[in-house]
Amino acid sequence: MKKIIILLLVFLIPGLISCNKSSVEKPNFIIIFTDDQGYADLGCYGAKGFTTPNLDNMAKEGMRFTNFYVASPACSPSRAALLTGSYPVRVGVPTVLYPVSPTGLDSSEITIAEILKRQGYTTACVGKWHVGDHPTMMPTNQGFDEYFGIPYSNDMWPWRHDYKKEKPRSELYPDLPLYLNNKIIERNPDQNQIIKRYTEYAVQFIEKNKNKPFFLYLPHTMPHVPLGVSEKFEGKTTYGRYGDVIEEIDWSVGKILNTLRKNNLDHKTLVIFTTDNGPWLTYGNHAGKAFPLREGKGTTFEGGMRVPCIMRWTDNIPAGLVNHEMATTMDFLPTIAYLAGSQPPKDRVIDGKDIWSLMSGDADQKTPHEVLFYHWPSELQAVRSGPWKLHFPHQHRHQAGPPGKDGNPAGQIDASIGLSLFNLEEDIGERNNLAEKYPHIVQKLTDLADTHLKDITENSRTPLEISDINWRRYKDKLSEGDFITDWWLIGPFDNTNRKGIEKVYLPEKEFAPKNTYPGRNNKMVSWWEYDGKSDEYISLAKLFNPSDEGVVYARRLFNLKNKTVVKIGLGTNDGVKMWVNGKLVHEDIAARTAMPNEDILSVSFNKGENVVLLKIDQLGGGWGFYFSIIDGLNQLE
Catalytic residues: 75, 130
The DSSP H or E segment spanning 391 is: strand 388-391
DSSP 349-390: -------HHHHTT-TT---S-S-EEEESSSSEEEEEETTEEE
Query: How is residue 546 annotated by DSSP?
Result: T
CB atoms within 10 A of CB 144: 25
CA distance 284 to 288: 8
Contact present, 394 and 379 (Cβ < 8 Å): yes
CA distance 32 to 38: 15
Q: How long is the chain?
A: 637
Contact present, 46 and 285 (Cβ < 8 Å): no
Contact present, 125 and 139 (Cβ < 8 Å): yes
CA distance 417 to 394: 6
3 state SS of 63: strand
Contact present, 388 and 416 (Cβ < 8 Å): no
CA distance 523 to 535: 29
CA distance 171 to 191: 19
CA distance 221 to 228: 9
Alpha helix (H) ranges present in 263-366?
A: 302-305, 332-339, 356-359
